[in-house]
Amino acid sequence: MNGMTLADELKAVVRGEVLDDVATLVAYSRDASLFEVMPSVVVRPLDSADVQALVRFVAEKKTEYPALSLTARSAGTDMSGGPLTESIVVDCTAHLNRIVDVRLDAATAQPGVFYRDFERATLALGGFLPSYPASRELAAVGGMVSNNAGGEKSLAYGKTDRYVVGLKVVLSDGHEYALHRMTPEELDRKRREQTFEGRLYNSVATLIEQNRELLDRSRPKVSKNSSGYNLWDVWNGKRFDLTKLIVGSQGTLGIVTEASFRLVPRRAGAGMLVVMLRDLAPLAEIVHTVLPFHPTSFESFDDHTFRLALKFFSSFASRMGFFHFLSLGVRFLPEVWMAVTKGLPKLVLLIEFEEETTAAALEKVHALAREFGRFPATVREARSDREREKYWLVRRESFTLLREKITDRQTAPFIDDCVVRPEVLPQFLPKLYEILDRHQLLYTIAGHVGDGNFHIIPLMKLSDAREREKIPRVAAEVFKLVLQYGGSLTGEHNDGLIRSPYLREEFGQEMYTLFERVKQIFDPQNIFNPGKKVGATQQYSFAHLKRG
């Protein structure tokens, strides 16, 4: 670039740091996925003005350097390869990390704010954002918006899109816009504006109006979906809301610089019913029995996860302090004894209730426990915070344990977020197990059984070419099975490098063409995070698998 490096040119454009040393580039070449993509440079913008300058810089250079692009990154906990790029990484955690405003029922934050800090601030006033993922101690709110995150409370509370009430986004013309819900009258006025923003609103609204039948026909028939662009919830004739399209778009339509969330009050009382299943056959009937009780969470983990937790119990329990470690160890003795004498259950279900009082929550736990008399299952009532804690530790920490403790293999989350309707689980899960076992994979399965959403994490020797060759074969078989049962390939973790190449197969060519048109409307120069959602190929993705 005129004798200057890309980093040199960027230093003249932004006030934040511009880094291209080897150690930094290697650090940003990975997230929590199984991919590795080396960026050219990392930029840490100071503020929205820096982000706008970056967009204008790339737009001006695109003709000369077509591969130049911007990929926003928050905490790097993404499991799909979403924030990986060969071009410019825009790190939001360094400076775009301010909590702007907190009230009882709402809060506004920049994308680099860690969820743990955000929740601490909101809980001080009695509210919280309930769509946090299992990586809640590591994740940032920008990633939650980008992926439309959900987690253990999504059954009752839904995902992040339900709570986003406003976004500030830098779009492809290099300006920041405030997006929020609009009335039909407000939309009409906006569509008449002869501006970049007016043309964008008109194009999106027209696209939806002209394709309502296709959209209705193509919407995934599951409780949650993060696959593709969410055109379904933008415009229903009564309200127009572009935040629904930006949330879950993985930074491919613009860069979010600020997000405003609706908060909900935290309930004081909780109780949990723990169900040990040795046979999956009654699972559908169990789901139908449980859901009318309206649990806050209906989670699960399998025998592989349970065995891992018992084997490495000291690792995650010791993080909580010596005395807490001893106390938790005593509380796990019944599970250890059960494993020794009876073997581990095939599936453990965690059914949690939150109510205004502990007594009300425990009343629901006890009433549901009575319903399990007709099922071949062992049930336990976890009546205290301390008793529930040990089960939540297993559920939340399983992926971290896999990454940290299995030294001869690596986590390979490439089929990690499939969703099917809960009633088909007794047929679906054995077929899923058969695929994984036939390919001789070591794996754990945990997830949101109330939503039919499962996180399947194989452990593989990625340095072994024969192991890597299994990934596209297993992915194809599992994805085919999910679609055969009318499911979605991702409920929470989004498409990224791993699932974007399958969007045509999942939605059909007509819907995929709509996704391409969305990208073209927002980002005609392909400035933002190319190769995700549209324009993705299996060849590129699998060429960038980690080697170790």
Ordered by start, the domain boundaries in the chain are 6-91, 99-265, 267-405, 500-543
Alpha helices in 312-384 (DSSP H): 313-317, 322-331, 333-342, 358-371
Q: Is 533 left (phi over 0), alpha (psi -120 to 50) or beta?
A: left
Is residue 229 within 8 A of residue 493, CB to CB? The reply is: no
290-327 CB burial, b ≥16 within 10 A, e <16? beeeebbbbbbbbbbbbebbeebbeebbeeeeeeeeeb
SS3 257: strand
Q: Which helix H or strand E contains 522, and what residues bound it? A: helix 509-522
Between CA 108 and CA 157 the distance in angstroms is 19
Q: Which fold has domain 99-265?
A: 3.30.465
Query: Model confidence over 497-531: pLDDT tens digits?
Result: 999 999 999 999 999 999 999 999 999 999 999 99
> Nearest-5° angle of CA 83, CA 87, CA 90?
50
Tokens (6 digits) for 538: 């299996």
Q: Which residue has tokens 């046979």? A: 279
Per-residue pLDDT at 329: 46
Per-residue pLDDT at 258: 98
Per-residue pLDDT at 326: 45
Tokens (6 digits) for 371: 């319903």
Sort 272 into a burial class: Cβ within 10 Å, 0-12 / 13-18 / 19+. buried
Tokens (6 digits) for 520: 């073209």
Question: What type of residue is 209?
Answer: E
Query: Model confidence over 135-151: pLDDT tens digits?
Result: 899 999 999 999 999 99
Tell me whether domains 6-91 and 99-265 share a fold: no
Per-residue pLDDT at 390: 78
Q: Which helix H or strand E contains 212, and what residues bound it? A: helix 212-218
Per-residue pLDDT at 335: 59
Question: What type of residue is 234?
Answer: V
Q: Is 447 left (phi over 0), alpha (psi -120 to 50) or beta?
A: left
Strands (E), 112-215: 127-128, 164-170, 176-182
The stretches in the chain having pLDDT less than 70 are 1-2, 312-343, 397-407
Q: Strands 88-91 and 41-44: what pairing?
A: parallel
Residues forming a β-bridge with 301: 348, 446
Query: CATH: 3.30.70.360, 3.30.70.2190, 3.90.230.10, 3.90.1310.10. Which one for 267-405?
Result: 3.30.70.2190
- Residue closest to 233 by CA, chosen among 286, 177, 323, 164: 164
Per-residue pLDDT at 532: 98
List CB contacts of 184: < 8 A, sequence separation 6 or more.
237, 238, 239, 240
List CB contacts of 117: < 8 A, sequence separation 6 or more.
99
Using alpha carbons, list the distances in angstroms from residue 97 to 94, 125, 429, 512, 528.
7, 20, 41, 35, 21
List CB contacts of 136: < 8 A, sequence separation 6 or more.
115, 116, 119, 151, 396
Is residue 253 within 8 A of residue 174, CB to CB? The reply is: no
CATH of domain 6-91: 3.30.43.10
Between CA 236 and CA 205 the distance in angstroms is 10
Residues forming a β-bridge with 546: none
- How many angstroms from the chain centroid is the CA of residue 256? 16
List CB contacts of 41: < 8 A, sequence separation 6 or more.
6, 7, 10, 18, 19, 20, 25, 87, 88, 89
Per-residue pLDDT at 396: 73
